[in-house]
Amino acid sequence: MGSDNPTDRSAAVQALGAAARRAARDHRRSVRRDAEAFRNAGVSDERILAELEITAELLDRILAVDGVRRCTECAFDRCPSCMKSMVDDRTSRLLACECGCTTP
């Protein structure tokens, strides 16, 4: 049975929202990792786009085609959630996000 207490419902909604945001963030990280792995394996951009069901613009941002390294959140146009840095999978070094967003 559900609770009729508005406080309990509000807490449940907040918990569900937090879980959904975590799952979405994990999915974005996975897409980024897969795109980079496909590129490193020599897979064509067209195949990457089809396999990951992403746009060419997103792929370009993920792979820093324009020379601007972006954290996962900024690559997905989620600058309010900018992570400020990211780990380079090849060197395991911490790199700054170069998006230039105005996130405090």
Number of domains the chain is built from: 1
pLDDT per residue over 22-45, tens digit each? 999 999 999 999 999 999 999 999
Does residue 87 belong to any structural domain of this protein?
Answer: yes
Does residue 16 belong to any structural domain of this protein?
Answer: yes
Residues 6+ away with beta carbon under 8 Å from 69: 86, 95, 96, 97, 98
Q: What is the pTM of this model?
A: 0.79
Does residue 22 belong to any structural domain of this protein?
Answer: yes
Does residue 1 belong to any structural domain of this protein?
Answer: no
Cα distance between residue 18 and residue 85, in whole Å: 22
Range of the domain at 86: 6-96
Q: Residue 82 in contact with residue 73, Cβ under 8 Å?
A: yes
* Residue 83 or residue 60, greater confidence: 60
Question: What is the predicted pLDDT for the residue at 1?
Answer: 46
Does residue 15 belong to any structural domain of this protein?
Answer: yes
Tell me the residue length of the chain. Answer: 104
Residues 6+ away with beta carbon under 8 Å from 80: 103
